[in-house]
Structure 1
Amino acid sequence: MSSSSTKSGDEEQTIANDLVVTKYNMAGEIVNKTLKLVIEKCVEGAKIHEICLFGDKLIEDETSKVFKKNKEIKKGIAFPTCISVNNCVCHFSPLVSDHEILLKSGDLVKIDLGAHVDGYIGVIAHTIVVNHISNNKKVDGRIADVILAAHYCAEACHRLIKNGNNNSQVTEAMQKICESFKCKPIEGILMHQLKQHQIEGDKSIIQNPSDTQKQEHEKSEFKTYEVYGVDCLISTGDGKGKEMDARTTVYKKTDEIYNLKLKASRALYSEVDKKFGLMPFTLRGCEDEKKARMGLLECVNHKLMIPFPVLWEKEGEYVAHFKYTLLIMPNNNVRITSGPFILDNFESKFKIEDDSINALLKSSTKRVIKKKKKKIDIVELMKAAPLTINGEAS
């Protein structure tokens, strides 16, 4: 299940190519199917590490079924399954050796995962409340507020990330939506452009910039045939995710070069390069978890691997998460990953008052098909309207 970066000198393939779109759609179908089955596992009493193992195994199994005859095409996990509960913001993907955590009725659960086919990435994140559907109860209170805020942010992004618009328009709209529900986007979280073998491409969108980030973050314009991982993380608290005592288990190899000294470090680096390439991975996916942990420190210290730390909001707050893969096509945006969402299941005392945001959310996302202009037959045109010279037909 490995990947390798595009070779130097190769022409970058975009979704202007039908085969590239097909590969994106394959990855999208796999994560949509995986999400559906992972949601079914998120019941009262379920063990989080077992759900994560289930999600990863399903992605590996499903990606192994495509392009079976072409051994050169790499495919597999693009982001390991993470299950982050209540005030946990993101990246919680425990190891078998970690303390066992069970889901409880009423827990707000964020599911985050991704797959790739030939380096073309489908990512998804979805938020559910344990038992609320089976008990046929509406979700209300602050949980409903934050889920609706995140949902509407995701819907606004679908409409704003299009050719000619820019990333600051998205940031502004998300801020307005969150203010309506007395919520805040998580500070500093970036949505990234996706490219082949790159889950963090050149362009990005920041949803809640700090004062420093406002000055440093580069303004960019969206273009046709670009792909984005639209990532909305919203909190009922102050929006400042912090690291606590949860072990970081998700990492990503970089392009940095360094001669590792320790045997365990070299073994880990080699295994990650072969299995995952530049895609994020979890230590759970390594052959020997204990040996992998031994080799990790040197790799991280020399920036050969970067961590995706587990972040937390304040105790008692809630965080909702929606993420999908968006293709900017000539006539429309195509969302290739999505989870089940029924608006009527959520009840909030707040609503969006801003007219411009309401108009945006009401605008259609359906495909616009431009009619082809009929070719003009000159002979037929002259028969229908003979050429006149000085008032006389010729």
Structure 2
Amino acid sequence: MAAPMQIVGLATPDDLTQSVLIKYNTAARFANQALAAVLSKCQAGANTQELCTLGDQILTESTQAVYKTGVERGIAEPTTVNVNNALSSYSPMDSPYILQIGDVVKVSLGAHIDGYTAKGCHTTVIAPINAEGPLIAKPANAIIAAYYASEAVIKMLSAANDSSIVTARKIRELVEEAARTFHVTVVEGSKVRRIKRYLVGQARVEEDALGADQPKQVEWHREVPGQPAFEDDEFVVEQGEAWLIDIAMSTGSGKVREHLTLRPTIYVRDATVTYNLKLRAAQSTLREIQSTKSVFPFCLRSLSDQRTARMGISECKTKGVVSEYPVLLEHPKETIARQASTLLLSKSGNSEAIRLTGGSAFALPWVKSEYEIETGSALDQYAQLASATRVKEVGIPAIGSSMEL
């Protein structure tokens, strides 16, 4: 059996040097391009499998066209298209869902160059052609809450400095305020976290790389009777850091469960586990995973022999050499909205923040809530913040633009 993969630079400090910034920006250009392309195809009658395939194809072709020697690059998060009450990990390989008018759709994906990662997620609504008005039902509240919570946190982080200290508690309170304002609930698993090279929250990977050195992170967990509702380290956000803002809101309880019948299609390699697999299909599948995949999750669709992969992945999972990403759902009658962006807090001294993913190119869909942000509230202040901090957006590359690196 091949030796476990070793990723050079795992968990090492990230200095935002010029070369690192270029790699982050390059990954962001490709992530934004793929996200915009998939969102543009989200319309009634669209096949979710084809949408996921489109996103992954763009990510793969784009990343493989640059840094052609000596630099690992590729998909950091496979494209998923999660509809209505689905939160994450839906990337079907057969019997795909067909989008319908009224669906609330979350498209999520990510790219990396040399382990420097840009991830994004945006929520849209499948509206009828020539719609006469915005979506005004309960799902609109979740969509607006997720959008404004994400935007407010980005502005809060971007303004972080010695005179405007940002802590875990302030981040949590701001997101919770958005949920209360629009009468929705923060979905468990939502997080605002510092990310590092190769480390963006993959199952098991960070535990093995960091050990007791836990990352800066605010995460929403399911409440357990008799235990505190949350427990955050009182960290302080600092310039020179990279952050992932990933916030989901629900019209229901915010509690999610694994889908009972959909077989997971997304997995991640656990490089710390070795095992002499018995089935030839499992051995073949693991060999390909070891030779072509990194510490990032991958979709079975990306393996060369999908039939063999489907047969072999079960033993790989049972023996612990891979971990699965199950499709997560809220109650069928509820709706989840989700927004995710990656942000760099420059340490160049010019108080500039760089928004890698999301931004003005990914606008709030046509929705309207019966609730409004209270004038003078923290959410209102950040929603209209015009600070000295300048937020630069990477945005979407022009069609046909190329990059030789």
Q: Distance in 1 between matches of 2:188 and 2:126?
A: 27
- Matching residue of 2:66: 66
- Out of 299, 307, 311, which is 1:290 matched to? 307
Q: Distance in 2 between matches of 1:213 and 1:266?
A: 44
Larger relative contact order (C-alpha < 8 A, sep ≥ 6)?
A: 2
- CA 319–94 in structure 1, closer or farther in 2 if over 3 Å, else same: same
Amino acid at match of 2:337: A
User: Does 2:236 match 1:240?
Assistant: no
Aligned runs of 1:198-347 on 2, under 5 Å?
198-200=199-201, 202-207=215-220, 210-211=223-224, 212=227, 214=229, 217-244=232-259, 245-262=261-278, 263-330=280-347, 331-338=351-358, 340-343=361-364, 345-347=366-368
Shift in Å, 1:194: 2.0
How many residue pairs are counted as aligned between the two chains? 361
Amino acid at match of 1:309: P
Structure 1 unmatched ranges of 5 or more: 370-394
- CA 213–81 in structure 1, closer or farther in 2 if over 3 Å, else same: farther
SS of match in other structure, 2:29: helix
Shift in Å, 1:11: 5.7
* Worse-superposed segment, 21-30 or 280-289: 280-289
- CA 173–215 in structure 1, closer or farther in 2 if over 3 Å, else same: closer
- Out of 114, 117, 130, which is 2:113 matched to? 117
Shift in Å, 1:109: 0.6
- CA 347–215 in structure 1, closer or farther in 2 if over 3 Å, else same: closer
SS of match in other structure, 1:29: helix
TM-score normalized by structure 2?
Answer: 0.82
Indicate if the aligned counterparts of 2:156 and 2:166 stay in contact, CA closer than 8 A. yes
- CA 5–137 in structure 1, closer or farther in 2 if over 3 Å, else same: farther
- Matching residue of 1:142: 138
- Matching residue of 2:51: 51
TM-score normalized by structure 1?
Answer: 0.84
Q: Distance in 2 between matches of 1:342 and 1:115?
A: 21
- CA 42–215 in structure 1, closer or farther in 2 if over 3 Å, else same: closer
SS of match in other structure, 1:248: coil
Identity of aligned residues (%): 28
- CA 65–357 in structure 1, closer or farther in 2 if over 3 Å, else same: same
Aligned runs of 1:312-391 on 2, under 5 Å?
312-330=329-347, 331-338=351-358, 340-343=361-364, 345-353=366-374, 355-364=377-386, 367=389
Indicate if the aligned counterparts of 2:281 and 2:311 stay in contact, CA closer than 8 A. yes
- Matching residue of 1:86: 84
Indicate if the aligned counterparts of 1:332 and 1:365 stay in contact, CA closer than 8 A. no
Indicate if the aligned counterparts of 1:186 and 1:233 stay in contact, CA closer than 8 A. yes
Superimposed CA distance per residue, residues 133-187 of structure 1 (whole angstroms, 9 cap, x where no aligned partner) = 7536322121211110000110121023345422232122111110111101112
SS of match in other structure, 1:347: coil
Q: Distance in 2 between matches of 1:216 and 1:190?
A: 13
- CA 298–192 in structure 1, closer or farther in 2 if over 3 Å, else same: farther
- CA 224–303 in structure 1, closer or farther in 2 if over 3 Å, else same: farther
Shift in Å, 1:277: 0.7
SS of match in other structure, 1:264: helix
Shift in Å, 1:225: 1.6
